[in-house]
Structure 1
Amino acid sequence: MIISGLILTLSMLVFAIGKSPVFRVDRAGIAIIGAALTVGTGVMSFDQAAQAVDYRTIILLFSMMIITSYLNMSGFFQLAGNQFLSRLNGKNQLLFMVILITGILSAFFINDIVCLLLTPIVIMITRRARLNPTPYLLGVAAASNIGSAATLIGNPQNILIESLSRINFGWYMALAIPISLVGLVLIYVLLSWIYKEELSGQLPEFQPMTGVVHGYLVKKGLVVVFLVLVGFLMGFDPAIVASLGAAYLLITRRVKPNKIYRGIDFNLLVIFIGLFVIIGGVEHSGLLMLLMHTPWMKSVQNLQVFSILTVVLSNIVSNVPAVMLLKYLVPVHMGHVWWAALAIFSTVAGNLTLTGSIANLIVVELAKKENVEIKFLTYLKIGLPLTVSMVFIALLYFAIITKIFHIA
């Protein structure tokens, strides 16, 4: 118990900071080190560690990365961006479309990857139009988090929750979409108010984004996405459906597989596998059961307390580790509602600070490479009111839902 507790504590410390304060170890590195120590110190055997990994989650995450990377390589995101931009006149309209596009794409593709794709495009557009890129980039970061809450495939923690809970894809989507739509509107209102002077007026004329768009590949990719989503909604196993879609896209004479593999975030896959082993070690050692029987943990018996705890823990150790820890608190008799709350609140929590989610960090780091600096306090001006408002709205929403349907 002591060894597994130390491994968990050290791992969560690095996840909270983002990197080791002493060595050059990042989140993926500490996941590997923690998993290796869990097996190496005898907390679990190698076979037990292998069994602790939820391979359905890994397969689903990997498959969605392949599908998203394929669409990016085909030119879909560039094509969609140009279609929207051709219909804009005002600076406020551009902000609205950036938030809307980011939110919609993040609902059906992993939000981290959407940020990787859209951030350079937004910077390029704002520079061509001689605009301050900051409000638009803040819109990308915030909307990617809020939009990804709408489905169980929008972000890594929701993919994990889908795999752990097996809650119905369509049911969750119907429950979560209203929250996401309210959140996207709130992002637009807050940014329009904070940057009202810079967002007033008309857009200057600028050339559309250039690049190769493979029409056939775009159509093939969109058909696969549509069929995968239909499979999800019909209740088929998401891991199998997504893997079949990804496999079909890899059957082609026109694209070298390496071009698609470049869009896969292998660091994120390593983090997931390492965390499964670390948390599995804590459970196997008996420490988790001991923690679950503490008076404080026993007090977490209502949805509101659980939701607030989700927000707090997600900002301390990041949302994926928080989900892996909090899954043990979900009651069996009303699990579908608690799982949905865990998905929504862990995602909303990512908007609080600049380091609250990987998506935020991706936007900031890519912007920094283009000499656009977004400071911690700059983000906090939008992140703090947005998160507080969304937590309050979501708590009220779940209170109404549970009362109407008598499910909690």
Structure 2
Amino acid sequence: MLWLPVLIFVATILLVVFKPRPFNEAGAICLGVFLMLFTGIISLSNISQIFSANLNILLFFFGLMLVSYFAELSGFFSSAANLALKLSKGNSWRLLGLVFALGIIITMFMSNDATALLLTPVVFMLVSRYGLKPLPYVFACAFVANTASMIFPFSNPVNLLAVDKFNLSLSEYLTFMLIPSLLAITITIAIFYFVFRRDLTPRFSIMENKPVALNNYSRSVRFTLIFLAAGCLLTSFMGWPLAIPLMVTAFILLGITLVYKKMDFNHLRHSVSWSILPFVLGLAFMVNGLENAGLTTTLGNWLSGTMASGGQLETGLITSFGTAIGSNLINNWPMMMVSVSSLSVITDISGGNAWLVYQAILGADLGPNLLIMGSLSTMLWLILLRKRGLTIKPVDYTKLGLLITPPVLLISTLAIFQLGKLSN
């Protein structure tokens, strides 16, 4: 009965996206998992196996949320935005470029969520203070968060689904993703400057800008974040679980925060979205249900058949665009899980056909630049700005996404395809 697990899965994802009361992401997923367990789609004997298979991702998320919290607490994002303002020297065109650069660096080493959810409000506050039109800058935070999240495996937690499943090394990952990432970022920035050219005022005064004061606590946090960046690169290069540097850094920052008496556990409890952990684990259970029903095997066999008939480029386009479109229909996390599970069916996926895995990563990372519902962080980004008085219509986000995402996705897909041919 393929229709039953698909029906439960789609209905659950709709609850996640629209969140009717009293559901949140975790509650909706838990309901879906219960239904799959009750109907026998998921076996109780698989629970421990699914949990252990996703432990690295769960710990990565846990460490990432703590690191982001402590970085924000130390004023890291405010200092970074003020530095960009100072370097702009009152030129709004240069400031937009610096916001992009800042977003790229933060996304590379602290994930796309940190850029979309923690950098955005600081940038919005900054440009509003100087009377600049905020849309180019807040949109830049959202779009670069997704676009730059392809650079490293740890730049987007969704990448870890493929990294863990197929044991991707950092050197191989960069071989396939570095050039497409640079192309995607360059094209995105070029389109931004063209679209927002009338919204960027030539000059503005920054005489009243006050630098964020540094203290021993903030300096200690910044030093630890440098340790994190180095640790993530080393861990990824060695092929170790990426949760290790995140968890180590999180506990170091917790110790530093306690030593400097900056710790407020009640504030921490309300500032971090803890529900993301059961949400991710619940998705893993639900995709296991789709696997048990044979859906992902069917998709994998279809891709294998397409490739066997000589349509390698066609298979690459189906994988990247299919994952991107699916990300906007059911969110990029569940879509990436389905894509990874389907690709695992293809023979030699870790050898001559490894490039297909990177097409799926590409689609899951870039897809959320098309619709607000493409990722949870983008939906939270929209809500976050509304709470601060800036109302952005989802249709305006989509209009910009339609200009940027299709050409960027196409060119990046072709780049990965060519790199795949060269690697063989």
Scaled by the length of structure 2, what TM-score is found?
A: 0.86
Find the residue that maps to 2:197 and give its secondary structure.
coil
CA RMSD, 1 decimal: 2.5
Match of 1:180 in 2: 181
How many residue pairs align between the two structures? Answer: 402
Match of 1:62 in 2: 62
Cα distance change of structure 1 residues 293 and 67 upon mapping to structure 2, 3 Å threshold: closer
Tell me how far apart the structure 2 counterparts of residues 296 and 172 of structure 1 sit (CA, whole Å): 22
Tell me how far apart the structure 2 counterparts of residues 66 and 29 of structure 1 sit (CA, whole Å): 22
The answer to whether 1:389 aligns with 2:410 is: no
User: What pairs up with 1:28-47 in 2 under 5 angstroms?
Assistant: 28-47=26-45
User: How many Å apart are 1:385 and its aligned residue?
Assistant: 1.5
Tell me how far apart the structure 2 counterparts of residues 250 and 52 of structure 1 sit (CA, whole Å): 29
The answer to whether 1:318 aligns with 2:331 is: yes
Match of 1:232 in 2: 236
Match of 1:151 in 2: 152
User: What pairs up with 1:209-288 in 2 under 5 angstroms?
Assistant: 210=212, 213=215, 214-252=218-256, 253-254=259-260, 255-256=262-263, 258=265, 264-284=272-292, 286-288=293-295
Out of 207, 210, 219, the residue aligned to residue 209 of structure 2 is 207
Aligned residue type for 1:318? N
Mapped contact 1:112–1:362 kept (Cα < 8 A): no
Tell me how far apart the structure 1 counterparts of residues 231 and 47 of structure 2 sit (CA, whole Å): 34
User: How many Å apart are 1:4 and its aligned residue?
Assistant: 2.8
The answer to whether 1:168 aligns with 2:169 is: yes
User: How many Å apart are 1:277 and its aligned residue?
Assistant: 1.2
Return 383-392 or 77-86, whichever deviates more: 77-86
Mapped contact 1:67–1:225 kept (Cα < 8 A): no
Mapped contact 1:144–1:359 kept (Cα < 8 A): no
User: How many Å apart are 1:211 and its aligned residue?
Assistant: 6.2
Out of 376, 379, 394, the residue aligned to residue 358 of structure 1 is 376
User: What pairs up with 1:84-99 in 2 under 5 angstroms?
Assistant: 84-89=84-89, 90-99=91-100
Cα distance change of structure 1 residues 130 and 77 upon mapping to structure 2, 3 Å threshold: same
User: How many Å apart are 1:163 and its aligned residue?
Assistant: 1.9
Aligned residue type for 2:148? G
Larger RCO: Structure 1 or Structure 2 (Cα < 8 Å, ≥ 6 residues apart)? Answer: 1
Aligned residue type for 1:84? A
Cα distance change of structure 1 residues 293 and 198 upon mapping to structure 2, 3 Å threshold: closer
Tell me how far apart the structure 1 counterparts of residues 410 and 159 of structure 2 sit (CA, whole Å): 21
Identity, in percent, stands at 22
User: How many Å apart are 1:392 and its aligned residue?
Assistant: 1.4
Tell me how far apart the structure 2 counterparts of residues 300 and 325 of structure 1 sit (CA, whole Å): 19
Mapped contact 2:161–2:340 kept (Cα < 8 A): no
Tell me how far apart the structure 2 counterparts of residues 190 and 269 of structure 1 sit (CA, whole Å): 36
Aligned residue type for 1:307? S
Tell me how far apart the structure 2 counterparts of residues 232 and 290 of structure 1 sit (CA, whole Å): 29
Find the residue that maps to 1:400 and give its secondary structure.
helix
Aligned residue type for 1:333? D
User: How many Å apart are 1:177 and its aligned residue?
Assistant: 2.7
